[in-house]
Structure 1
Amino acid sequence: MPALAAGLLSPVLIGFSADALAVKVTDNLDLGGALRVRLDNDPGRGVHEIGLDTVMFSAKYDSDSWIGAARYRFYGKSYPYQYVRRFGDISFAEYAWIGYKFDSRKQLQLGLNQVPFGLQPYYSSTFYETLGNVIGLEDVWQLGAKYIQSVDDWNFQFGYYVRAAWPGAGTSNGSTYSIVVTPADPGVAGGSRNDERGLAIARAARKVDIGHLKGEAGVSVMSSSLYNRDTHRYGRRNAFAVHYAANQGPWGVQLQYARQQMSPRNPGDNGTVSFGGYDGSFNVASSGNFYTGDLSYSLPGAYAGGWISGMKLYANYSLYEKSRNDFRNSQRFILGTSFTLKKVWIAVEWLNGRNDPYLGGSSYAQSAAAGGINGWKGQFYTNIGYYF
């Protein structure tokens, strides 16, 4: 770590080690949040940045019958949002929903809740997530209703989502936490202007024990409409996935395959659909196969006199194999570790991408579609968070 970064981080870590500030309003309601700092180090592009990453505020309610949760995020001024004047100029809701528990095995959620597609809640052990997030399948929250029921070893989830999250603040059409179908910004070459509506989804997962491996296997299907603002015609978005996740002692494995098939009614090329989120928009290949594999190892106990605990080592690979022969496939490989330093949670990751819009200076607008830098590019990434 550069001396400057170490000097900046020392007072930050000391401050984060203070007593937790969580507010327990009642026996059922908790208010909290998080403060996160990020470090980006990519010598190939001359990127050596440290700054305030995220401020989050959250609320959680849980009683015998009623449940709910909400979280709002703020960004800006620090890398990669140095183009805005003030911190907070970019902000959006992550989730905001209420629910009712019919009993311990059945519940209904209404509002901005997580779309139950594939591995839940994430496709990997990583902080940076997989390419499934880039193509709008992983960590997606939309406005709608979701019903969850457990029956013996089975878990069933059914959802219907009327639309994506309401827009937040920012400089782009992609002003949401989730990466979702979004009308492209004017600067996106070949961008399309679609809105996703009426997303119906079903997920079934069953507990599966294979020898000492204890986990679950499942299948998910979803379908939605894509309304094009220019042609005023409706296309379709369909996807299905199969997944498996298991643990054996400290070892963990997560595997998933998904097929995404979008048939937009763009005025021009239907080979791409524009997506957006985190104050940006870019093109994604309309159809392709998604693969991800994650291997992790959790170290038991505490280290360094109890300062370090909850350490996990992990490796993840994800691939978006595009159906068009003239489109270059997108790939991402992450090797990393996460752990708790007293009351601070830290993730340190070596990120590698090929035709990845977020890594290596590849084309942000086209990498997930036709492609960008068709060679592996890497960087080191650290996120330090104090959660209260």
Structure 2
Amino acid sequence: MKKLSILLVLLSLLSVISLADNPDSTDDYLDIGGAVRFNIISQNYEGQKIAESTSATLDTWRLNIAARYSDLVLDFEYRFYPTFNTHFIHHGFIGYNFTDDFNMQLGVTQVPFGNLTYNSHSWWFLIPYYIGLEDDYNMGVKIDYNINSRLNLMAAYFRQSEPAGPAYGEASFGGPGAGTYSYNVIPDEDGVLSEFGSTAHLREMNQYNLRLGYMLFEATEIGISGQIQGLYNSVLQDIEYGHAFAAHINSDFNNFNLKIQYTNYHYKARDDEGNLLKRVQMGAYGDPYYGDGVAAKGNIFTAGLAYSKDVEWGPISNIQPYFNYSLMNKNGSLNVNGNRYNFQNTVMMVPGFLITAGNIYTYVDWAFGKNQPWLTDYFGTGLGAGHLDEEGIPIPVKDLSWNRRFNINIGYYF
């Protein structure tokens, strides 16, 4: 830890150093920077609101390194989350530009799936992020090829999820845990997600991605994405392959941006006794989804609209209001006393706005959720069967009240 602290201090001192102040596509450069972000929170969930429902916290701080030498590039980011008592790599890869239109990345890189870089406008993202299908990062190799001025192809192979940091990442079952930035399937140590009470020694292994994006107009991309994902059970020593599919639209017109996406997915996996799972355990930031997990099959619809307005309000140069919405329809059911009860939908919407003032970016969000695992007093509950009544039966989503969180995230990026 002492050596790590010294290294971090040195990197911080070097953050003002750049071999190219404004590097273009042909310059060699070394840029070292980072960010510090704070959260102001006011929660209104199922329980009675108390003094601790409103608070402020250090969200994260991070270090970034970007470099280029000839046609070789390096991009690295490491994040620290004091609130969650964990830290981990966000991304880190070495790339090579074969031509201006064709490059390859090797390491921890973003999965080419759906709307990129994000499928949302808010600090909260949308439901696909919380099941590992938005802004996801894994370890492998990816190619990015502009076939012509309109058509882009991305293809990737990922051997495994990104390396995990501390906390639950040290799970006794081994393998990657939940100490990561993006959500991954992890071991179910308690066996609560199997209908037969069996544990599930699962980890992500062998994932294949293909994404096609076509510029229908000058600023409108339509596209499709496909994913084949392997989930390895170390007890059975066998891999089950599931899939995900997405169709997306990302369009800029006037000062508006519209993002729409449909996603179908199936995390196909077996517990340690060989039974197919209707729910899988997932986690990130040092915490798994205790007790409820994620429905193994489902469909997700997302839509977001944002409007960008340049202003001259002192240091403020731009205001971007937005509205993001997502709905998750799950395929699955619970057996309660011999009766079957369907998994309940998850709904999430986030109205808000982004304020830009120099290098300071402030997200002001009102996040609303039903069966959303972060917007609840019962963290991790909602993406599987949903919230349960006293008899263990999923509560119809129409009978749930909207859980709400007012959130201001202030970040200084350097």
Q: What's the TM-score, normalizing by structure 1?
A: 0.86
Which structure 2 residues correspond to residues 124-273 of structure 1 after superposition, within 5 A?
124-152=120-148, 153-172=150-169, 173-184=177-188, 186=190, 192-209=200-217, 214-266=219-271, 267=273, 270-273=277-280
Distance in 2 (alpha carbons) for counterparts of 1:185 and 1:175: 16
Return the alpha-carbon distance in structure 1 between the equivalents of residues 222 and 178 of structure 2.
Answer: 33
**Residue equivalent to 1:350:** 366
Does residue 1:368 correspond to 2:383, yes or no?
A: yes
SS at match of 1:133: helix
Partner letter of residue 387 of structure 2?
A: G
| Alignment partner, residue 341 of structure 1 | 357
1:17-36, aligned counterparts within 5 Å? 22-25=16-19, 27-36=28-37
Letter in 2 for 1:285: A
Task: Determine the structure 1 residue equivalent to 2:40.
Answer: 39
CA RMSD of aligned residues (A): 2.0
Pick one of 371, 386, 405 that aligns with 1:379: 405
Residues of 2 paired with 1:263 and 1:385: CA distance?
Answer: 38
Indicate how the Cα distance of structure 1 residues 269 and 157 shifts in structure 2: closer, same or farther if over 3 A, else same. Answer: closer
Q: How does 1:79-90 map to 2 (within 5 A)?
A: 81=84, 89-90=85-86
Q: Does 2:311 correspond to 1:311?
A: no
Against the structure 1 CA distance between its residues 332 and 43, is the aligned structure 2 distance closer, same or farther, given a 3 Å change threshold?
A: closer
CA contact (8 A) 2:269 2:276 kept: no
**Residue 348 of structure 2 corresponds to which residue in structure 1?**
332
Q: 1:93 and 1:108 mapped to 2: Cα distance?
A: 20
The Cα shift of 1:131 comes to 0.5
| Structure 2: stretches of 5+ with no match in the other structure | 1-13, 21-27, 170-176, 334-341, 389-396
Question: For 1:182 and 1:353, how far apart are their aligned partners in 2?
Answer: 24
How many Å apart are 1:332 and its aligned residue? Answer: 0.6
Q: Could you tell me whether the CA contact under 8 Å between 2:348 and 2:372 is conserved in 1? A: yes
Q: Which amino acid aligns with 1:202?
A: L
| Amino acid across the alignment from 1:377 | N
In the alignment, which of 285, 288, 292 is matched to residue 298 of structure 2?
A: 288
What secondary structure sits across from 1:237 in the alignment? strand
- Identity over aligned residues, as a percent? 29
1: CA distance between counterparts of 2:351 and 2:207? 34
> Residues 23-51 of structure 1: CA distance to partner in whole angstroms, max 9, x if unpaired?
31465110001111111101454311102
Equivalent residues of 1:184, 1:281 under 8 A apart? no
Deviation of the 1:338 alpha carbon = 0.6
Aligned residues between the structures? 353
Q: 1:62 to 1:378 in 2, by over 3 A?
A: same
